[in-house]
Amino acid sequence: MATSTRRATVYLDRELHTALKLKAVETSRSVSELVNHAVREALAEDAEDITAFEERAGERLIGYDEMVKRLKRDGRI
């Protein structure tokens, strides 16, 4: 399956860019492949977080003080 690509300009810190180029050489992948993979993983993690928030939307919220009391009662602090 062919993948459609778009060109984008991204400005990276000098050290980050150097590390990325070195990783590309060491892994026989392009910088673009590495960046695409990292962005996909970050977006997938965001999607998981959103799903988790939606699943827990109906739960009762507790305050900080109540949480500390629970932790103390359960022997965690």
With 0.85 as the threshold, say if the pTM is over it: no
First to last CA, the chain: 54
Average pLDDT for 8-17: 97
Q: Are residues 30 and 24 in contact, defined by beta-carbon separation less than 8 angstroms?
A: yes
Q: Tell me if residue 27 falls in helix, strand or coil.
A: helix
pLDDT digit string (tens) for 59-76? 999 999 999 999 999 999
Is the pLDDT at 11 greater than 90? The verdict is: yes
CB atoms under 10 Å from CB of 20, counted, come to 15
